[in-house]
Amino acid sequence: MFKLDLQRFAVPYRRTSKTKKRMRHTHLKKEAGVVVTCPKCGAALRPHRACVKCGNYKNKEVIKTEEEK
Ligand SMILES: [Zn+2]
């Protein structure tokens, strides 16, 4: 069978320290999601989605909300 030759593998010279690892991960921050405001009630919502508060999308009521019943 094949013999495991350790000289062929790239082996890290040192273990990455906690500080170095954390410094590297400072670039991996998750960005905040896109938020738009509802033209009817002004509530913050995600784009291309009906408003949760008033149930409107593109100035039309698409969801019946409990306030109007
Ligand atoms: Zn709304």
CA distances from 9 to 3, 13, 29, 61 (A): 13, 12, 31, 63
Q: Detail the DSSP E strand segments found in 1-69.
A: 36-37, 44-45, 56-57, 60-61
pTM: predicted TM-score of the whole model, two decimal places:
0.43
Structural domain containing residue 64: 34-69
pLDDT digits (tens, 9 = 90+) for 32-69: 889 999 888 888 888 998 888 888 888 777 777 765 54
Q: What pLDDT does residue 39 have? A: 86
User: Quick check: is 26 in a domain?
Assistant: no
3-state secondary structure of 39: coil
A 10 A CB-CB count for 54 gives: 19
User: Quick check: is 2 in a domain?
Assistant: no
User: Quick check: is 49 in a domain?
Assistant: yes
Ligand 1 center to residue 66 CA distance, Å? 13
Ligand 1 center to residue 31 CA distance, Å? 25
Q: How many domains does the chain contain in total?
A: 1
Ligand 1 center to residue 49 CA distance, Å? 11
User: Quick check: is 4 in a domain?
Assistant: no
Looking at residues 29-33, what average pLDDT do you find? 84
User: Quick check: is 9 in a domain?
Assistant: no
pLDDT band at 24 (very low <50, low <70, confident <90, very high): very high
User: Quick check: is 27 in a domain?
Assistant: no
- Torsion angle (degrees, nearest 10) of CA 44, 48, 51, 56: 130
pLDDT digits (tens, 9 = 90+) for 10-23: 889 999 999 999 99
